[in-house]
């Protein structure tokens, strides 16, 4: 079931109502789902490899903390921030300033930034780790089966 953008995100606490959470595709809803957004976003950074390493490790700590609390939504939101760390760092790797398009809508030429490329690789490694985590995958399947 796709992510439901029609919910009243300003007045929802997904920790109290996890049945309303939909995994969706990729990073859908990453900046909408509270209280997780507010808990994870302050740690999400990728400007340099050192910052990306610290950020990804902290988000993985949150992922594991949510696991110990049997909080799948928190685990999945952590996964989304890790994935977004990779995708945004890749965008900045390929395009200075992170902008892919010129003002006229044409695509800019790639200008590889090796520093951002290293940051992206750090997040990619953590993302791959989560995607291979059998416990996370079982919880994801269970949540989708129960709630969509």
**How many domains is the chain partitioned into structurally?**
1
User: Would 1 be classed as within a structural domain?
Assistant: no
User: Would 23 be classed as within a structural domain?
Assistant: no
List all residues 6 or more positions away from 79 whose beta carbon is below 8 Å from its beta carbon.
63, 127, 130, 136
**Tell me, what's the pLDDT at 96?**
85
User: Would 3 be classed as within a structural domain?
Assistant: no
* pLDDT confidence tier of residue 97, bands split at 50, 70 and 90: confident
Contact 7, 24 (CB under 8 A): no
User: Would 82 be classed as within a structural domain?
Assistant: yes
pTM: 0.93
* pLDDT confidence tier of residue 128, bands split at 50, 70 and 90: very high
User: Would 78 be classed as within a structural domain?
Assistant: yes
* Domain housing 59: 9-18+28-101+109-147
If one counts every other C-beta atom within 10 angstroms of the C-beta of residue 30, the result is 21
**Tell me, what's the pLDDT at 2?**
81
- Residue 42's Cβ-side half-sphere holds a number of Cα atoms within 13 Å equal to 5
User: Would 56 be classed as within a structural domain?
Assistant: yes
């Amino acid at each position: 079931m796709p992510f439901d953008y029609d919910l009243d995100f300003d007045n929802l606490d997904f920790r109290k109502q996890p049945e309303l959470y939909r995994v969706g595709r990729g990073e859908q809803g990453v900046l909408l789902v509270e209280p997780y957004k507010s808990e994870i976003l302050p740690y999400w950074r990728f400007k340099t490899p050192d910052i990306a390493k610290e950020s990804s490790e902290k988000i993985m700590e949150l992922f594991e903390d949510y696991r110990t609390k049997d909080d799948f939504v928190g685990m999945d939101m952590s996964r989304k921030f890790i994935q977004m760390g990779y995708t945004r760092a890749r965008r900045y790797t390929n395009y200075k300033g992170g902008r892919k398009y010129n003002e006229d809508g044409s695509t800019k030429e790639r200008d590889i930034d090796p520093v951002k490329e290293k940051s992206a690789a750090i997040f990619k490694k953590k993302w791959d780790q989560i995607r291979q985590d059998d416990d996370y995958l079982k919880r994801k399947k269970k949540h989708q089966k129960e709630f969509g």
